[in-house]
Amino acid sequence: MPELPEVETIRLGLQKYLVGKTIEAVDVRLKRIFTGNPQEIIGAKIRNVDRFGKGLVINLDNGYSIAAHIKLTGQFIYRGPEVSKVSKVSKKVGGELPNKFTHVIFKLKATDAFLYYNDIRQFGWVKIVKSDKLKEISFFKDLGPEPMFGEIRDKQQETRRLTLEKFEKIVKSSNTAIKVLIMDQKKIGGIGNIYANDGLFDSKIDPRRKAKTLSGSEIKNLYSSILKVLKKGLENGGASELNYVNALGQEGKYQLHFLAYAQDGKPCVRCKTKMQKITLGGRGTYFCSSCQK
């Protein structure tokens, strides 16, 4: 599912192709997922693309921003002269664009340049807001610090970063199951079910453990495992489980490297014990009952 590495991959693609382009028209085909007045952004130029946890923000040069959350099945796909022939477009895109899953079309000033927002299950949202009111969107307002990567975020963003010290405080003060805690976007931004399962597996911690029972070294291990699996996810262009594709409609490869996620019934890669699946916090939870303690 789209988590931090997937959304970051999309952000990098959008940043590459959208910056400097002017929005010429906005066609909202599914009003339910859209808020704000499209007229506010007509003629505005795209300045940069940012990401907050699993949320995307396209900043414009007229004081407005396009904020979006793709939830489970949303896709932002660019088509334009630079990418007229895109190789390996995923079937997950649903065919020629626009298609029946395309809910918003941004026409950009360049011959035949478009940004399509697709979403099969329609859980995601797109909002037009004044840039200085972004933090009034509850998702952004309540978002916890993020395990970001040094190479993609500069020092100005330090307040947004989940440091080891912040992570220790969060873990030590919670009585929730550790997996549920690290997926709580209000506590930590960006981790979803795939990277939570894989991070816990990598650090050999049982997902059911109450957070405050983790020792100092277990917390450190979990912190570095989370960074490790997120980084591996990003290096692989994300995991194309469900309908995730990048900004050109291509699939990622992290699903080929899952450690624990969706591995139930298969032998543990460390000790060969059969991997378990349980439900925790209402979500599929995968782990090795032998080496995760």
- Window contacting DNA (CB under 7 A); options: 52-60, 105-113, 127-135, 265-273: 52-60
User: Is 220 labeled as catalytic in the residue annotation?
Assistant: no
Per CB under 7 A, 84 contacts DNA: no
> How many CA atoms, within 13 angstroms, populate the side-chain half-sphere of residue 269?
11
Which is nearer to DNA, 34 or 139 (by Cβ)?
A: 139
How is residue 40 written in tokens? 């506010």
Per CB under 7 A, 194 contacts DNA: yes
Among residues 11, 54, 127, 187, the one annotated as catalytic is 54
8 Å CB contact between 188 and 148: no
- Binding string to DNA for residues 234 to 273, with x set by CB under 7 A, is what? --------x------------------xx-----------
> Taking the complex as a whole, how short is the minimal distance between the CB of residue 1 and DNA, in angstroms?
4
Residues 20-49 that bind DNA (CB under 7 A): 32
In degrees, rounded to 5, the angle at the alpha carbon of residue 65 between the alpha carbons of residues 61 and 71 is 150
Taking the CB of residue 150, how many other CB atoms lie within 10 A of it?
9
Site size toward DNA, by CB under 7 A? 35
Q: Which of 109, 121, 130, 274 binds DNA (CB under 7 A)?
A: 121
Q: How far is 161 from 150, CA to CA, in rounded Å? A: 10
Q: How far is 149 from 6, CA to CA, in rounded Å? A: 14
Per CB under 7 A, 183 contacts DNA: yes
Listed residue (90, 108, 96) closest to 44, CA to CA? 108
- The catalytic residue positions are 2-3, 54, 283
